[in-house]
Amino acid sequence: GENVGLHLPTLSVQEGDNSIINCAYSNSASDYFIWYKQESGKGPQFIIDIRSNMDKRQGQRVTVLLNKTVKHLSLQIAATQPGDSAVYFCAENENYGQNFVFGPGTRLSVLP
């Protein structure tokens, strides 16, 4: 699709399994994080966010974990479905600023 890179990391999972997508961030001062989903030919879609005063946040079928010690963020998708196939990327932000830094993304492929 027009929105993805040629060499994105790819995660392939069986339908019904759980998916874990990882993101390493660079700025230890970042205090707000978002996970986005981007389907081919579409704009990024907000999935879930987390602030640095939390370690875990749950949504519908999704959980975000934040490990500030190693500057690592993960997105867990339970019971992965074909409609979850997309590129997922994280974004970090510091001190309510306007400049989000976006990761390059991971392509999730759900196998039937």
Please spell the DSSP secondary structure of 5-34, one letter per residue. Answer: -TT--EEEEETTS-EEEEEE---TT--EEE
Smaller CB distance to another protein: residue 66 or 103? 103
Residue 96 beta carbon to another protein: minimum distance, rounded to whole angstroms: 4
Smaller CB distance to another protein: residue 7 or 70? 7
Smaller CB distance to another protein: residue 2 or 112? 2
Please spell the DSSP secondary structure of 27-60, one letter per residue. Answer: -TT--EEEEEEE-TTS--EEEEEEETT-SEEE-S
Contact footprint for another protein (CB under 8 A): 2-7, 32, 34, 36, 41-46, 49, 89, 91, 93, 96-105
